[in-house]
């Protein structure tokens, strides 16, 4: 089973890297950019076909390592 975990900053948390990317895009002449927030994407292969078990494993991985849950949200998608 495959999964995608997306980690993003919570609303209200400053995103200096996103601001830097936004500024760089504007300096390159890319128009219409009103804001950029950056995040992380993890594509993970699991050795189980049990969806409940996979979700539990991924939640544990996010809580322990992949996301700083004080300032980040995460979303798990099983494929």
Question: Where do the structural domains in the chain lie, given as residue ranges?
Answer: 2-78
Q: 28-66: per-residue pLDDT in tens? A: 999 999 999 999 999 999 999 999 999 999 999 999 999
Residue 41 confidence (pLDDT): 98
Residue 29 confidence (pLDDT): 97
Distance CA(33)–CA(49), nearest Å, equals 41
Above pLDDT 70, what percent of the chain? 100
Distance CA(20)–CA(12), nearest Å, equals 17
Query: Residue 62, Cβ neighbours under 10 Å: how many?
Result: 20
Residue 4 confidence (pLDDT): 98
- CATH tag, 2-78: 3.30.1280.10
């Amino acid at each position: 089973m495959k999964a995608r975990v997306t980690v993003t900053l919570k609303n209200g948390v400053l995103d200096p890297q996103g601001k830097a990317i936004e500024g760089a895009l504007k300096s390159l002449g890319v128009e219409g950019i009103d804001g950029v927030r950056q995040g992380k994407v993890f594509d993970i292969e699991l050795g189980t076909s049990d969806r409940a078990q996979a979700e539990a494993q991924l939640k544990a991985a996010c809580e322990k390592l992949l996301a700083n849950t004080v300032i980040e949200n995460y979303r798990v998608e099983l494929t």
